[in-house]
Amino acid sequence: MNIHELLSKILSKNDWGVFFKGEPMLGYPTQDGVKMYKVNEITADRLYDAIDNELKKMENECQESSKDQQIEGESSTG
């Protein structure tokens, strides 16, 4: 099970959703001038893409850190 499947399962099981913190509700005008509101929910694809990007960034940082430690170890023994 990957992180996307796990997250989907948890969100579905608990009837949870993810919304934009800065603008959680969107207002739509109606013909009579009264606004109709809708939750400004983030789509699952967008959420999963953001998770993938963060995981890749963390992986790259770990690889860079590992390379730096190897270089430091080689220079101290050489």
**Whether pLDDT at 18 is above 60:** yes
pLDDT in tens, 26-75: 999 999 989 999 999 999 889 889 988 998 999 898 888 877 777 766 66
Distance CA 35, CA 40 (A): 15
Distance CA 8, CA 77 (A): 49
> Residue 59 — φ and ψ, nearest 5°?
-65, -45
Give residues with Cβ within 8 angstroms of 8, minimum separation 6.
Answer: 44
